[in-house]
Chains A and B, each alone.
Chain A
């Protein structure tokens, strides 16, 4: 867990009273919408189709149980009893009233939660691996560095008025769970030959209208230099970045236009001027942040407790354990992923009751800590293995034990036309139908790891470009049409998917996905060959043939 300091608390409280005043002036007509819009966006408030939407930051995806209860409270008191976890370690409330927003913000501020850096052309909340601090083999807890960057960039004028929004993600494991290659800056924590901690720095990733996978611009930047290096990147971006055209204003376009070599050289030049400035980080600063992250007092526990051995006889428990439970850095403990993808449900939604009950379970079984990941699932990061069977039973009662983590029904979907004012087509009902089609656990297991990502427009909030199967909703003559890509991936081998052919209608999407999956099952060389590997080996042609032969 992380303990905020006094400066943060004061800042958050000031923001709440400032916003209360702004809302009052807006409702009285003293402020016009034009004047108010930028102020509400600074506080995470958007306008969607049916209502305002309120986006709250969950920095590096770490939540304490009192914070999760506060989110449940906001869902219950100010919204319609549920919230939506997003791909960027945020939660969104869909039905909030402007007049009540200051109260909601105030209730959240009491537990140190705020909505800064969730919208606008600024530095967005820094995201990280949801298994930070507990994943085996991690170089170091990446949240320490996320927090350093968060402190440095929050409200810093240079980062508050950028050409466009700016997103950073950090990972410290070989397996990238933070999707760093689709962020403006991706940081991979590594050690050099001398054993010093630093970063491989990637820039220019992003999806949307013009998707790019980030490229490495420097193989090693020492930890103490990371702020000056980021600053150098931002200066180059601020200097060249296109403010005249929002479609070209993202750093990915600049990197693409200048070329990675020129871009790196510019950054390097800039960096040489500032690397020995006050931006160099003292060890004490890092130590101070490090000391604010506390870890539980783990017990010495057996690797294979009796409780787990006995429960293994239950096939339902085993099905859940195989997909949801991951190794922990401490013997006798596990990381448990909680699927927010029930069959037939909207991906990423959780009710106030589920949040409250989960907070109780986290207190009981996970040292009071919950994590939020970019796959729109939650996790309990410190569960003793002996408690797994009891936890599973409790989760099952809450509808939170769907055994589908990383399987075909663990779908990422944006809100789409059911909520979003920018949407061309619906996303959630497509996801719901797909979860029904593949509800059979044996079938899903047979298929193996397969990620479906759905976006309702080209902004790509559902990361469709990097879905193993990507589905993009577009509009054609007033009708919803969906373009299907295959072969994308969001991990350390990130790649963009390839379109398989003409778009298909709303009612046909699930059939097409079934065809793609059937083709895969027939084409794979052996059961262990994953969908993305078969696509890589054979290309899209055989899939295309299967899908369009009969259409």
Chain B
């Protein structure tokens, strides 16, 4: 996955969300429609065109105390309306590392 951290032009090809890492503990969060952050992808605000994406990103960037490094990430919407990560990178961010943790007991 090409790192999205250097996102310059905002151009989206399908449903997207804004994601970042929560400032105090670093966990993955998604921007919600209620102008907050949630650790649940299901609560993320979905944007479908670049204007919406820009607006949501601007709002996220302004909330610098809440979360850091916000960027736009693709998602897929399942038939049941469920929001799924749009690529492997985002899938790993959502579900965690794909390898066992050595200290998992």
Interface residues of A (CB under 8 A from B): 26-29, 32-33, 47-52, 75, 80-82, 95-99, 345-346, 349-353, 417-419, 421-426, 428-429, 432, 457, 475, 478, 480
Contact = CB atoms under 8 A, between A and B. Distances in A.
Contacts of B26: 47-48, 50-52, 95-98
Contacts of A32: 64
Given A49-B93, A99-B24, A424-B1, A27 B65 contact: yes
A418 B92 contact: yes
Interface stretch (B40-48, B51-59, B95-103): B95-103
Nearest to B74: A478
B2 interface: yes
Interface in B75-105: 87-89, 92-93, 96-99, 101-103
Contacts of A80: 101, 103
19 contacts: A27-B23, A33-B64, A33-B68, A48-B26, A49-B28, A49-B89, A50-B21, A51-B25, A52-B25, A98-B23, A98-B26, A99-B25, A346-B102, A421-B5, A422-B5, A423-B1, A425-B1, A428-B99, A429-B98
Interface of B: 1-3, 5, 21, 23-28, 64-65, 68-69, 87-89, 92-93, 96-99, 101-103
Given A49-B89, A417-B89, A428-B99, A98 B64 contact: no
Nearest to A342: B102
A478 B1 contact: yes
Contacts of B69: 33, 47
Contacts of A26: 23
B61 to A, nearest CB: 10
B67 to A, nearest CB: 9
Contacts of B25: 51-52, 97-99
Given A47-B26, A421-B3, A424-B1, A432 B99 contact: yes
A351 B98 contact: no
A98 B68 CA distance: 12
A82 B103 contact: yes
B64 to A, nearest CB: 5
B93 A50 contact: yes
A423 B26 CA distance: 18
Contact of B2 (A96, A98, A424): A424
Majority secondary structure, B binding face: loop
Contacts of B3: 421-424, 457
A424 B89 CA distance: 8
A81 B103 CA distance: 6
Contacts of A81: 101-103
Nearest to B65: A29
Nearest to A79: B103
A98 B24 contact: yes
Contacts, number: 97
Contacts of A346: 99, 102
Contacts of B1: 417, 423-425, 475, 478
Nearest to A457: B3
Contacts of B23: 26-27, 33, 98
Given A352-B103, A418-B99, 15 more contacts: A29-B65, A47-B26, A49-B89, A51-B21, A51-B25, A52-B25, A75-B103, A82-B101, A97-B24, A98-B26, A351-B103, A425-B1, A426-B98, A428-B97, A429-B98
Given A429-B98, A475-B2, A50 B88 contact: no
Of B3, B28, B103, which is in contact with the most chain A CB atoms at under 10 Å from its CB?
B103
A75 to B, nearest CB: 8
A81 B99 CA distance: 15
B11 to A, nearest CB: 16
B88 A478 contact: yes
B99 A417 contact: no
> Which 9 A-B pairs give the minimum distances between C-beta atoms?
A81-B103, A51-B26, A97-B25, A29-B65, A52-B26, A418-B97, A82-B103, A349-B102, A33-B68
A59 to B, nearest CB: 25
A531 B88 CA distance: 34
Nearest to A37: B68
A31 to B, nearest CB: 9
Contact of A350 (B88, B96, B102): B102
Nearest to B6: A422
Given A27-B23, A29-B65, A50-B96, A345 B102 contact: yes
B98 A418 contact: yes
Nearest to B103: A81
Contacts of B103: 75, 80-82, 351-353
Contact of A419 (B21, B64, B65, B97): B97
Nearest to B97: A418
A350 B3 CA distance: 28
Nearest to A98: B24
Contacts of A424: 1-3
A420 to B, nearest CB: 9
A429 B92 CA distance: 13
Contacts of A95: 26
Contacts of A480: 88
B24 A27 contact: yes
Contacts of A99: 24-25
Contacts of B24: 27, 97-99
A422 B89 CA distance: 10
A47 B24 CA distance: 12
A97 to B, nearest CB: 4
A29 B28 contact: no
